[in-house]
Amino acid sequence: MLERRLKTILFSIPGAARLQNTYFPDGSLALRLTRGVSWTITGSVISSASTLLASILVARLLGAEDYGALGIIQSSLGTFMVFAGTSLGLTATKYIAELREKDPKRAGRILVLTTQTSYLLSGIMSLLLLVGAPVIARSALAAPQLAPHLRVAALTLFLSGINGAQIGALAGFEAFGSIARINLLRGLATFPVLWIGTRFFGLLGSVIALGVIAAISCAMSDIVLKRRIRQANFSPSREGAWSEAKLLLNFSLPANLTAVFFVVAIWISNLILVRQPNGYSQMGIFNAVNQWRVAILFLPTVMAQPFLAVLASLAGAGSGRQYRKAIRISLAATTLAAFMPAILVSLFSGSIMSAYGAGFQRGALALVLVSVATALAAPSIAITNVLNSAGRAWSVFGMVMAWSLVFITAFYFLRGYGVHGLGCALLIAYLIQFLIVLLIAARFMKPTAAGAV
């Protein structure tokens, strides 16, 4: 409704209708990409800005050491989350986008399959975290006092796993306006919920707040997805849903292994870091730096879902020329969207780290290193979408596995330099991956390769 009103107002302006018909005709690739990206950015801007501001506030309330503890809890949560099937959202996006018009019955079965599997895997991994929290806190984190916090985080794990499948399904419908509204409301809730939790209950309150935010997002996504299914006259059926289970092996499994290798590599690097002298203070600095890594990748990341949905749709339709055009646009957009923020963050790294409070200032160099590394990482997001849209999830797995091995090996030898060594290791790993991405992009831009998709 809002989108139709905005469109009516916009194109009532003299000359705007002609501009729209010339450059953004109905059903065109330009209109689909612009609409998807603009809606996604609209919702995500407030969400990411609120999260970033909340992270600064939480860091000032907790201090470097407790903020480092929150960082390792979030890293541990992310590690368990990939085993909970975060790739199921990716599976839903690709196949719903590809099949929703060509074979809606099969798309409905895949929607049911990904939803049911997300509940199953999220429940299993949440239970394992709940039961194993004391062992993880004592043996892996060398901080037995964090066991209660990990148990509370199990709820966040369960809800986030389900929410990933929900958002993935909405992206498959190209319902980016709905996703934007969900992100908008989530962002509006993030700052006050985190502030209240941390202000009155300290570190444990921060962890509880993460669960509350996940619950809000999950509930909103469920309402919106059901409404979208009704509007699309879509009839997801449980009957025969598990006959599509081969997709879990051919696409979801490699996609999940990709996420596992990436997140586990980050988790291992964090474990190495916290075991260095003043390890949890170093981790607190890296947790602050990492917030800006996420901020630099904000635009490339939010563009990923609409680009994947459109690429998968074009691949399913066999539109080779349009497919190659979409690849060029996605590569240019993601690269430019990361390099400009990376330059700005590097220039103001000292002021940024000082904003977090005492003990964070010495992380300015680490922020510069991570910013440059993140800019080099951006094109890989576009190429990952290309490979996934072509059903080559195992190729993505190989690329990320190579990155993980290089990153962990580099940091192992640089671990004595603490958070700065971690930044150098990221830079080395992403530089090598950047060169690999250039080779893959050149191959897909050949007409014969793209046309075969």
pLDDT in tens, 378-428: 999 888 888 888 878 888 888 999 999 999 999 999 998 999 999 999 999
DSSP characters for 376-434?
A: HHHHHHHHHHHHHHTT-HHHHHHHHHHHHHHHHHHHHHHGGGHHHHHHHHHHHHHHHHH
What is the structure's pLDDT at 41? 64
- How confident is the model over 110-167, as pLDDT tens digits? 888 888 888 898 899 899 999 999 998 988 888 899 999 999 999 999 998 899 889 8
Q: Rounded CA gap, 183 and 1, in Å? A: 18
Q: Rounded CA gap, 290 and 119, in Å? A: 29
How do the domains of the chain map onto residue ranges? 31-451
pLDDT at 212 over 80: yes
What is the structure's pLDDT at 5? 43
Token reading at 446: 């050949």
Q: What is the largest CA-CA distance in the chain?
A: 68
Query: Which contiguous run of DSSP H or E holds residue 346?
Result: helix 320-347
DSSP characters for 435-453?
A: HHHHHHHHHHTSHHHHHT-
Does this model's pTM top 0.75? My answer is no
The closest of 58, 53, 61, 173 to 111, measured between CA atoms, is: 173
Please give the average per-residue pLDDT across 279-304, as a whole number: 85
The closest of 331, 325, 282 to 28, measured between CA atoms, is: 325
What is the structure's pLDDT at 9? 35
Q: Rounded CA gap, 451 and 143, in Å? A: 54
Q: Write down the residue that tokens 């990341």 correspond to.
A: 301
